[in-house]
Amino acid sequence: MRRYLSWRIGRRDYALGLAVYLFGYFGVYFLVSSALAQTALPLIWILALAVPRLRDIGWNTGWSIAPFAAAFIVGFANAVVARAMGSPWPIAGLLSAGVGVGSLAFMVLLAFKRSRLDADEVFG
């Protein structure tokens, strides 16, 4: 029980959780609602997977919002430019794809990053 109350998650558990999360995310995105997938489901990744994993590797938990902050900034910039020009920003699609690939790479990177603490130190 102490293991689950420590707010830390190992590489194997994170990788399994990430696989389940991505499967569910894309299922909801394509079968139910893209808006639901893009607004509510990232909170699951942040709270259930990213924060414990970032604590385990010794990084600031604020990094958990980085993928979504980058997507928000690109979307906001696209809206501002589209309003000023009267048409969508020509490179918005390319930037959005780059943010998506970068976000996925960050999520996968966390699965390979070694813990800064020994398992015995964390889990007793």
**What global pTM score does this model have?**
0.73
pLDDT digits (tens, 9 = 90+) for 85-106: 777 777 777 888 888 888 888 8
- The yes-or-no verdict on residue 120 having pLDDT over 50 is no
Count of H-run helices and E-run strands, the chain: 8, 0
The H-or-E segment that residue 54 falls in is helix 51-57
Task: Output the six-digit token pair for 83.
Answer: 């309003």
7-61 pLDDT per residue, tens = 778 888 888 988 998 898 888 889 988 878 877 888 888 888 888 888 888 888 8
